[in-house]
Amino acid sequence: MGKVALITGASRGIGKQIAITLAKEGYDIAINCREINEDVKKIEEEIKLQNVKFLAVKGDVSVFEDAEKFAKEVIEYYGQIDVLVNNAGITKDTLLMRMKKEDFESVIDVNLVGTFNVTKNVIPYMMKARFRKNN
């Protein structure tokens, strides 16, 4: 059984490159994205060229239930999670005096709360896997 990497925010940018690099190292890949779109289909094609498995799960990391669903779907599909890369993030670049409260809150929700949500839901599976390997 190979290793499984779960990457949030991997449909483009740094997350996409992390997913491709891990696939080249032989990891099966699971990504989380807000929408299953053309970017996701392109990364799937690139990753499958590495002869590894690929799974994309739609969901918003800032929503705890979405993160819980994401972790469960990855476990159902692969049976394990070995690596978690919390890469999902957004920015609302503007001067603080022009920034709306809602924009600030959405940045915090995705960048901080999202990291908590995904980690909180993935760590029990990673701990079980570690325990099995050490015994």
What does the pLDDT average to over 56-78? Answer: 96
Residue-wise pLDDT tens digits, 8-54: 999 889 999 999 999 999 999 999 998 889 999 999 999 999 999 99
**Continuous segment of H or E residues that includes residue 85:** strand 83-85
Long-range contacts of 64-72 (CB under 8 A, 24+ apart): 64/117, 64/120, 64/121, 66/117, 67/114, 67/117, 67/118, 67/120, 67/121, 68/117, 68/121, 70/6, 70/32, 70/118, 70/121, 71/6, 71/118, 71/121, 71/122, 71/125, 72/121
**pLDDT 10s digits, 43-59:** 999 999 999 999 999 99
The domain covering 4-134 belongs, at the CATH homologous superfamily level, to: NAD(P)-binding Rossmann-like Domain (3.40.50.720)
Nearest alpha carbon to residue 31 among 21, 16, 50, 13: 16
Structural domain spans, the chain: 4-134
Question: Mean pLDDT of all residues in the chain?
Answer: 92
Is the pLDDT at 120 greater than 90, yes or no? yes
